[in-house]
Amino acid sequence: MDDSTTLKKTPLTALSVELGGKMVGFAGYEMPVQFPEGVLKEHLHTRSKAGLFDVSHMGQVILRPRSGHVEDASLALERLVPVDILGLKPGRQRYALFTAADGGILDDLMVANRGDHLFVVVNAACKKQDVAHMRDNLSDVCEVVELTDRALVALQGPAAESALAALAPEVAGMVFMDVREVLILGVPCIVSRSGYSGEDGYEVSVPEASAEAFVRALLANPDVHPVGLGARDSLRLEAGLCLYGNDIDTGTTPVAAALEWAVQKVRRTGGARAGGFPGADVILPEFEQGASRRRVGIAPEGRAPIRGGIDLYADEISTGPVGHITSGGFGPTAEAPVAMGYVAASLSDIGTRLYAEQRGRRMPVTIAALPFVPPKYKR
């Protein structure tokens, strides 16, 4: 936990406190880990109705091409990510990864084509270095503008569409990964149909001065409840989504992380724009040869959750670990403990039985398919 005397506040911190949020330090910000309803009920309410999250600690950045042509910004960003940005159509968003020269992952991010510029959202803990990374490497082509006067709100769950459409009817016509500017309560907002829960929903970038009124308007709908970081973590874990710093980091490659789907064929060996990103000489051969280890789903037997940092073993007596847990907890929707981690590639097949060592005892676990809860995105 961060030192509370140095924590930054988001435009919604005061409202979170008013709503009874239990505030903790996270990525340098004072954030609600839960509200009076509690993590379990917040998680289940998001799955059944709609959960509202303050994610204003995330970094929001505009890449504005100096030429006026968004294609130039797209090609410039491809210097830093192994992702097809040039093929991203206006009004669409894509998941991407900043990679390092040794193939490791510096951060994961979302990139939207806004027609005349790119809109990028990066993780809170990495945003300072991410913005510096973009300025150092893209300033010859783009103006790199960090937006520090906007909030970011996530509305997730099956009732998210009806709740947001009550304020802005046009959002109902959007599908997963659509992005558009929408007038909400008379204020221009950037809305994407995306999220970090496995549920249908939206993320809304709203001017700081209008953020509290927007959130209060959403919370006036009985289907919408405030949700904290605790349920956000259990929701994303059930959905098999990575948390940077836990499941992916500078020591993991996209292939080891089972994120091959994020690297389009045009950027792979034989593609029209193959390579040209940091670590390509390490990452691209792994598409053919595989990585030595792999991120997998892990299902502990019994009801006791297994947390991150626990080592995995091939049997009950061997001395050398064959992997480790990176994220773990109880899945309220799965009604069972769920976890993710890395194991030797030879042990990554679904159904493989391993043992997690916890408090001096080895508990049986099974390699499981991800996600634990099927996604409900609107395609």
What residue segments make up the domains of the chain, in order of their start? 1-290, 292-379
Q: Residues with Cβ < 8 Å from 58, sequence gap 6 or more? A: 121, 122, 123, 124, 127, 152
pLDDT computed for residue 299 by the predictor: 98
Task: Count CB-CB contacts under 10 A for residue 374.
Answer: 10
Ranges of residues in the chain whose predicted pLDDT is under 70: 1-5
Q: What is the CATH number of domain 292-379?
A: 2.40.30.110
Q: CB of 283 within 8 A of CB of 100?
A: no
pLDDT computed for residue 96 by the predictor: 98
pLDDT computed for residue 25 by the predictor: 98
Written as six digits, the tokens of 174 are 């959007």
Q: What is the CATH number of domain 1-290?
A: 3.30.1360.120
| pLDDT, tens digit, 9 for 90 and up, residues 15-55 | 999 999 999 999 999 999 999 999 999 999 999 999 999 99
| pLDDT, tens digit, 9 for 90 and up, residues 118-138 | 999 999 999 999 999 999 999
pLDDT computed for residue 90 by the predictor: 98
Residue with tokens 């836990």: 246
For residue 76, the SS3 value is helix
Q: pLDDT > 90: what percent of the chain?
A: 97
pLDDT computed for residue 1 by the predictor: 47
pLDDT computed for residue 5 by the predictor: 63
Common-topology check for domains 1-290 and 292-379: no
Cα 271 to chain centroid, rounded: 27
